[in-house]
Structure 1
C-alpha cells in the first residue's frame, strides 16, 4: 500500500507540473498572438503603399512601351509627311490624328534639332489642314436658304449631319500643342495663331448667318408698320427681339461645343465677335422703327409705348446674354438700354404733344353748319381706348415725365413738393386722363360758341360730348378704361353732357315753344292766334330742315331715341293744348288754313328726325 501511495503522490506531482507548464505555454501563445496582431497592424500601411508603387511602376512601363511603339512608327518620315500634306481625307481622320500625334512624340522624345524642326513644321501643316476642314464644315453649316418672313420663325440650328462630322475634328484640335500646355513645342505659337483665326472665322460666319435668318423677319416688321395696328407692331418687335435673344443663347451653346479654343477668355472673345453683327441688326431695325414713328408721333405713339413695354420686360435676359462676352461693361454699350432710352424719349414727347394738338383744334374753322364729330374727339377716344393695352408703359413714362408736366408749363405741377413713389404711377395716369378729358371738353365748348349759329353749335356740342361719354364711360371698347378715369373726370363728362343736352333743347326748341306760349292772364286774340300758328309752323319747318342737315346723335341710336321722345313730349302736348284752346275761341272761319298739321302728324314728323 505504501508503494501505491508513493506512486500516486508521484503522479499527482507530475500532474501539477504539467498544469503549470500548460499555463505557461498558454500565456506564451497569448503573448505571441498579441505581438502578431500588432505586427500586422504596423505592416498593413507599408503593404498598401507598396501596392500603389507597384501600380505606378506598371503604368510607367506601359507608357514607355507606348512611346517606344510610337517612336518606332516614325521610321519612315516620308510616309507621315505625305499623309499630312494631303490633308485629312473622308474616313481617315484617325490615321491623320495618329500621324500628328507621332510627330508630337518625336518632338517630345528625340533630341535631334533637325528632326524636331521638321516634325514641328509637319505638325503645323497638319494643324492648318485640320482648321481648313473645320472652317469648310462651319461655312457649309452656316449657309442655305431661310424661311420666308411671316411663314415660320427662323432657325439657326447647326445641321446634325455636319455636327457629327465637325465634333471629332474639334475634339482633336483641342488636343494640339499650345504655348499654355506645351511651352517648349516649336509649333505651339503658330498653332495658337491658326486656331485663333479659325475661331474668329467661326464667330463671324455664325453671327452673319444668324443675321441672315433674323433680318427678313425684322424688315417685315418695318414694312408692315404702316398697315397694321401700332400696338401689334410694338409687340411683334418685342417678340422678334426675344427671338434674337433665343438665337444668341443657342449660338452660345454651339460656340462652347464647336470652337477649338475652349478657355473661358477665348469663348467670351469669340462670343463678342459673334454678337456684333446681331447687335448691329437690332440697332438697324430699332432705328428704322424710331424714324418711322417720328414721322407721325401722334399716330404711332402707341408703337413706341408698346415696344418700350416689350423691351423693358426683356432687359434682364438681354443683360444676361451680353454678360457672356466677358469684357468690362464699360467696353461695350448696352444696345437695348440705349434703345429703351430712345423709345422713352418718344413716349415722353407724345403726351404733351397730343394735349397741344387738342388745344390747337380750337384754332380751326369749319363750316358753320357742320355738326359732325370733331377729328380730335374721335382721336381722343381712340387714344384713351388704347391706353389699357400699354397701361404699365404709359404710367411709367408719365411718372418719368412728372405729374402735370404734360401741360408744358401751364398751371401748377401736382405734388411738385413731393417725389412720387412707384405706386403713384396709376394716380399720375388718372391725372393725365383727367387733363386730357377736360382739354377736349374745353375745346368743344369753345368751338361750339365760336363762329357757329347757336342751333348748329349746340348739336355739334351734344354730338361730340355724347360720343365721348358713351365711348369712355358707358360702352368703352376696353372694359378696363373706366377704372382708369378718375371720378372728377367722369363727373365732368356727365355734367357737360347734361349741359350740352339742355343747350340743344334751348337753341332748337325753345323758340318753337315760345311761339305758341300765351300769358294765362291774357285772352287769345284771333289775329294773335293766327300769327302764332304761322310762326310755329315756320319755325317747325326750320327745325325740320335743320335736323335733316344736321344729324343728332348719329353715333348713338339709343340716346337719339331718348332725345326724340323728349322732344315729342315737349312739343306735341303744347301744340295740342294750344290748338284746342284756339279752336274753342273760333279764331278763324277756316282753321285749316293756319293749322297745317295735326298734333299726330307733327309727332310723326319729329320721330322721323330721330329714327
Structure 2
C-alpha cells in the first residue's frame, strides 16, 4: 500500500513538472507569436517602403543605363571616326606605294599593299559618309593603277620568257625538247594572275587585261616559232612533188605539238576557270593561219594538180592520222562544234575529188588552150606525158585514190552533177579485194587520151608521115609507161595481168593502134623501095650485060627518083624525132632490113667499082646519078629521128 502511494506521488510530481514545463512552453510560444506578429508588421512596412523606393529609384536607374550606353556608343563612334579618318591618310600612303614602278623583286611588298587597299576599300564601301566617297574613289584608282602595274609586269615577264623556238625544237617529235619556264618565274606568274583575279570587286567578272596579254604573247610565240614551216608551205612547188615532202605535214604535227604544250602551260600558270579561254585565245591565231595556208594550198593545187596532186594525198593522210589529237585540242578549247581541222580535211578531200574530175575533163577537151601547141618534130605531146606522169603519181597513193574515187562514185567523174548516189558502174571489187573505181577511172583517162591524140594528129598539114610519127611516139610512150610503172598494168587489167586475152583493155586502147601506126609509117619508104626493084634483062636466051638506050634511061630514072625521094625523106624527116631508142630502133629496123640490102644489090649491079666485071654500065658519068654509097645510106637512115 505504501509502495502504491509512493508511486502515485512520484507520478503526480512528474505530471506537475510536465504541466509546468508545458505552461512555460505556452508562455514562450505566445511571446514568439507576439514577436512574429511584430516582425511581420515590420517586414510589411519594409515592403511598402521598398516599393515606394523602387518607384522613386527606377527612373533614375534607367536614366543611368541610357547614359552609360550613350557614353559607350560615343566612345565607339569616336573610335570608328578615328579609324575612318585614318583611312584618309592610309589611302594616300598606299597610293604612293602602288604608283611606283613595279619590278619582280618588289612583288611581295606590292601585293601586301594591294591587300591593304582592298581591305580599306571593303571597309569604306560600308561607310555612308559623303566625305568617304572621295576615299573610295581614291582606293579604286589605286587598285586600277595596281592592276595596270601587275598587268605590265605579267606582260613583261611573259614576253621575256616566250622567245620563238628553234626550228629543230619545233619539228622534233618529243615535247620535252621545249624548254620549260623557270620555277621562280612560273610562281611569279601564278601569284600575279591570282592577285589580278582577286582585285576585281566583281567575283563573277572575268579578268581581261592579263588574259588578253597572255593570249597575244603566246599566240605570237607560236606563230613566230612556226613561221619557217608556214613560209615554206606557201612557196609554190618548183618541179615535180616527191612523196612525203610537203612542208605542210611537219607544219601540222608541229602545230599540234605546240598546242599541247600551250595546254600544259596554261594549266600551270592560270586559274582553272580561265584555262579554256586562255588556251583558245593562244592557239586560235596560229590555227587560223594554218587553216588559211591549207586553203591556199588547195587553191594552188586546183591550178597545178598534175604536178602537185601528191600533196593532197599526203596532207589528207596526215590530217586523218592526227584527227583524234585535233579533237582533243579543240575539246580543251571548248570548240567541239568548230573543228577547223575537220573542215580543212573536208576541203582537201573535196579538192582531190575535183582534181580527178577536172583532169579527165582536161584530157577530153580537144580545145584545151594548155595543150594547143603541137610538137614540130612529132615527138610525144605534152598532154600525153602529163597524163601518164599524173597516173604514175596516183599509183603511189592507191588506197587513198580508191577512197577518193569511191567518194565521187564509180563513173560519176564523167557526170559529176549526178552526185555520188547515182553511179554509172556498180562498185564491184576485183580479185584483189579492192574496188574497181581506180581501174575504171584509169581506163576512161586512157581512152580519152588516145581519142584526143588521134584528133591532134590531124593538125599536121605537111603530110601523113609526121602525123604517123606523132601517133607512134605517143602510143609507144603510153605503152611503155603503163608497162614500166609498178602496178599500173595490173590496175588497168585487173590482178590476172599474166593471163590477159588478146583483146584486153591495154591491147585494144593503144597496142594495136601502135602496130598499125608502125605499118603505116613504113609506107613512107615504099616509093624508095619500088625504085630499087629491078629486073634481069635477057637476050638470046642469056643474061644481057649491055643495056640499050631505053634500058639505060630506065636505070638513070631509078637512080634519079631514088635520090629525089630519099632526099625528100631526109629533108623532111631529119627534123622529126623519136626520143625513145627502143621505138626508133623498131621503126628503122624494117628500113635497114629492106632498103639497105636492096640498095646495095642495085648499086652493085649498076655502079660497082670492085672490078668484078659484072657491072652493067648505064652511063659514062656515074657520079651524076649515084649520089650515095651503101654506107652513106645506112648512116643517114640511122640518123633519122635523132633531132631530140
* Pair 603,587 (structure 1): closer, same or farther in 2 beyond 3 Å: same
Q: Contact conserved, 1:124 with 1:190, CA < 8 A, in 2?
A: no
Q: Contact conserved, 1:83 with 1:96, CA < 8 A, in 2?
A: no
For residue 444 of structure 1, what is the aligned residue in structure 2? 453
Q: Does 1:395 align with 2:402?
A: yes
Q: Contact conserved, 1:149 with 1:220, CA < 8 A, in 2?
A: no
Q: Answer with 490-499 or 521-530: which moved more.
A: 521-530
Q: Distance in 2 between matches of 1:521 and 1:398?
A: 71
For residue 580 of structure 2, what is the aligned residue in structure 1? 556
Q: Does 1:250 align with 2:281?
A: no
Alignment of 1:17-416 (within 5 A): 86=97, 90-91=104-105, 93=107, 129=146, 132-133=149-150, 136-142=153-159, 153=170, 164-170=184-190, 174=194, 189-190=201-202, 193=205, 195=207, 197-215=209-227, 217-222=229-234, 224-227=235-238, 229-230=240-241, 235-259=246-270, 261-263=271-273, 266-295=274-303, 300-326=308-334, 329-330=336-337, 333-361=338-366, 370-408=377-415, 416=424
Q: Distance in 1 between matches of 2:375 and 2:333?
A: 67
Number of residue pairs aligned between Structure 1 and Structure 2: 512
SS at match of 2:211: helix
For structure 2, the 5+ residue unaligned runs are 1-85, 498-503, 545-549, 608-613
* Pair 358,367 (structure 1): closer, same or farther in 2 beyond 3 Å: closer
Q: CA deviation at 1:462?
A: 1.4
Q: Distance in 1 between matches of 2:222 and 2:519?
A: 66
* Pair 146,566 (structure 1): closer, same or farther in 2 beyond 3 Å: farther
Q: CA deviation at 1:122?
A: 8.1
For residue 562 of structure 2, what is the aligned residue in structure 1? 536
Q: Does 1:498 align with 2:515?
A: yes
Q: Distance in 1 between matches of 2:197 and 2:363?
A: 74
Q: Contact conserved, 1:237 with 1:307, CA < 8 A, in 2?
A: yes
Q: Answer with 142-151 or 440-449: which moved more.
A: 142-151
Q: Contact conserved, 2:376 with 2:576, CA < 8 A, in 1?
A: yes
Q: Contact conserved, 2:394 with 2:401, CA < 8 A, in 1?
A: yes
Q: Distance in 2 between matches of 1:173 and 1:409?
A: 57
CA deviations 1:547-595 (Å, max 9, x no partner) are: 31212x2x22344245434421121122334456678694735593544
For residue 72 of structure 2, what is the aligned residue in structure 1? none
Q: CA deviation at 1:430?
A: 2.6
For residue 609 of structure 1, what is the aligned residue in structure 2? 640
Q: Distance in 1 between matches of 2:635 and 2:522?
A: 19
Q: Contact conserved, 2:574 with 2:641, CA < 8 A, in 1?
A: no
Alignment equivalent of 2:618, drawn from 564, 572, 588: 588
Q: CA deviation at 1:133?
A: 3.0
Q: Contact conserved, 2:313 with 2:400, CA < 8 A, in 1?
A: yes
Q: CA deviation at 1:255?
A: 0.4
Q: Distance in 2 between matches of 1:292 and 1:348?
A: 15
* Pair 294,441 (structure 1): closer, same or farther in 2 beyond 3 Å: closer
Q: Distance in 2 between matches of 1:188 and 1:585?
A: 121
Q: CA deviation at 1:382?
A: 2.7
SS at match of 2:436: helix
CA deviations 1:462-502 (Å, max 9, x no partner) are: 1222233334423x5xx555554435454344433333322
For residue 546 of structure 1, what is the aligned residue in structure 2? 572
SS at match of 1:549: coil
* Pair 504,214 (structure 1): closer, same or farther in 2 beyond 3 Å: same
Larger radius of gyration: 2
Q: Distance in 2 between matches of 1:342 and 1:159?
A: 35
Q: CA deviation at 1:602?
A: 2.4
* Pair 122,170 (structure 1): closer, same or farther in 2 beyond 3 Å: farther
CA deviations 1:442-463 (Å, max 9, x no partner) are: 2222332454411111111112
Q: Does 1:513 align with 2:539?
A: no
Q: Distance in 1 between matches of 2:528 and 2:587?
A: 16
Q: Distance in 1 between matches of 2:108 and 2:372?
A: 87
Q: Distance in 1 between matches of 2:195 and 2:367?
A: 79
* Pair 240,365 (structure 1): closer, same or farther in 2 beyond 3 Å: closer
Q: Contact conserved, 1:308 with 1:344, CA < 8 A, in 2?
A: yes
Q: Tell me the TM-score normalised to structure 2 length.
A: 0.65
Q: Contact conserved, 1:398 with 1:429, CA < 8 A, in 2?
A: yes
* Pair 599,215 (structure 1): closer, same or farther in 2 beyond 3 Å: closer
Q: Distance in 1 between matches of 2:242 and 2:616?
A: 71
Q: Tell me the TM-score normalised to structure 1 length.
A: 0.68
Q: CA deviation at 1:170?
A: 1.0
* Pair 204,132 (structure 1): closer, same or farther in 2 beyond 3 Å: same
CA deviations 1:338-371 (Å, max 9, x no partner) are: 2222222322222232222223347877679641
Q: Distance in 1 between matches of 2:142 and 2:536?
A: 122
Q: CA deviation at 1:83?
A: 6.8
